Amino acid sequence: MASTHANKYCNHLINEKSPYLLQHAHNPVNWYPWGEEAFQKAKKENKPIFLSVGYATCHWCHVMEKESFEDEEVAELLNRYFVSIKVDREERPDVDQVYMNVCQAMTGSGGWPLSVFMTPDGKPFFAGTYFPKEGRRGMPGFKDVVIQIGELWKKDREKLFAASENIISALEKRVRPDESAEKIGLDVLKKAFDHMSIAFDPKWGGFSFPPKFPTPHNYTFLLRWYN
């Protein structure tokens, strides 16, 4: 996507090879690629990190860029409160997978652009996908999210550290098999089916409200439940 700020701004993505990262090289957001330089800057300046993961043909990635990352007001807030990192999921699927697991564990869904807020050493404490610049239809506005997290980091970051530890602990439990755990009963599966039935969108398909992304595990469960 051509940037309206091409002649005004140039950030740390300018020397990258990824077409997706180069699309963001002239955003007013002071983007860094994934690497030691960004994490060292965050530690030195004692700032949290905002991680945005996407790919070149992602519709909602372009929408969020247009609404927020090309917006000078939002960029000023991100540059003030955070060290911002851009990742191309097609270039770094390993990074994408790690933080997508975080997003799914926190919100119950995932998609792109993937938006993660984390400590300077990469421990996540808040995650989501697409945020509009201003809140609408029950979705929080990205500008408000940035301000609230940025101020909380300055005034009471222990809450964010605690949230990060809780997330990491929950993820470890998900990947560590529990030998003492009982088999999931039909009542639990029925509750899952009922919840998905309520969340299903009969008009447009999918679950919950936009933006929507494919969730293969949901359909796998429904097929097994049907059988």
The whole model's pTM is what? 0.78
The per-residue pLDDT for range 112-148, each reduced to its tens digit, is 999 999 999 999 999 999 999 999 888 899 999 999 9
Residue with tokens 């990824």: 18
DSSP conformational letter for 207: B
Of residues 187 and 67, more confidence is placed in 67
DSSP per position, 102-162: HHHHHHS---SSEEEEE-TTS-EEEEES---SS-BTTBPPHHHHHHHHHHHHHHHHHHHHH
Domains, the chain, with CATH or none: 19-175 (3.40.30.10), 186-226 (no CATH)
The per-residue pLDDT for range 43-65, each reduced to its tens digit, is 999 999 999 999 999 999 999 99
- The per-residue pLDDT for 177 is 54
The per-residue pLDDT for range 182-205, each reduced to its tens digit, is 667 788 888 888 887 887 888 877
- The per-residue pLDDT for 213 is 62
Nearest to 22 by CA among 37, 8, 11: 11
The per-residue pLDDT for range 70-125, each reduced to its tens digit, is 999 999 999 999 999 999 999 999 999 999 999 999 998 899 999 999 999 999 99
- The per-residue pLDDT for 112 is 96
Does 217 score more than 90 pLDDT?
Answer: no
Lookup: tokens for 41:
């800057």
